[in-house]
Structure 1
Amino acid sequence: MTQYVSNQSTNRTDIAKQQLSTTIPEDINFKDHTTVVKYLRFLSTAQSIAEKRHRLKMSMDGVSLAFYAAFAQAKEFRGLLLLKKWLLEGRDKAEWAILRDVMSLLEKLPISIEGLASTKLGRVVVGLGKMENADDTVKEISIKLTKKWTSVIAEQNPPSTPALEKKPTSVNT
């Protein structure tokens, strides 16, 4: 029985190494925004925190602005929802490294008011910044994202000013 447990442990280690050595599928091109859905599928199949981090880091360089925009606006905000899910998982497990990686990606994404409203991503990011035991970098990125998104909201929703009430003019006679 000891032999079986040892082999099982070795197999898990081998599987983890194979998953981490996974390369980006050839049909995903970070210069071509039309491959975002394929990239989202690739990201969504990651199981472990280590695998998620590895797959995120594979895409850190050479990504076009159009790809980032497509990621942020993907059908029903699937990319943002996936990142939100990973943030919540990382928060629950106190996995600060995945939180830093996801939040670093969020800094690069042009997120719209609709994306923020639909996903409630802002609430999660603000909450991470307020956690007492949060990593300092996570807190810093949370503050940056909050400021960035607040300015996006302000730009897209200018404050409405009430019309000035006209005072009746009195005529001195």
Structure 2
Amino acid sequence: MSKSTSNRFILLTKAALICLMLVVVAGGVVRMTGSGMGCPDWPKCFEQYIPPTSEAQLPNNYKEIYSEKRSKKIMRFAGLLEQIGLDDQANKLRNDPSILIEQNFSAFNTWTEFINRLIGAISGLLVFAVFVFSLKYIRSNKALVLLSLFQVILIAFQAWMGAMTVAT
């Protein structure tokens, strides 16, 4: 592999690492500000790619709409938990009415969560690019390719867990 190719791979890997650190920081900000439910659905935010900035941009019954969607998602997730033997956790989810209560709209919370998601998406794309780029090293460094693939799997799992967190 040429030196310039190697340098580009290192630069891409560093960019992915920086973005992953930003995801951790953004996740902390979301948690500290209580913005996790700022976008009640996933992957969109209030059924939009660009979230609203005021409650007037939402349907009058938006709380009922998202509560019903969350209820369906919770039932699916509880079914998955039962399939893997976590019956107690599934029952807790099904019987906890507090997770169906929608927050009042807050542009700050919505945009805080939306920015967190954007950083996460960019991180995911960079991690995937690192994996694709690592395929050039498959003959000389199989471990690098496998670790890059493992990183893609981990970030996909993290995104799924984020979606489940929004649901529950």
Query: Rg bigger for which structure?
Result: 1
Q: Normalising by structure 2, what TM-score?
A: 0.34
**Higher fraction of helix:** 2
Greater relative contact order (Cα 8 A, min sep 6): structure 1 or 2? Answer: 2
TM-score with structure 1 setting the length: 0.33
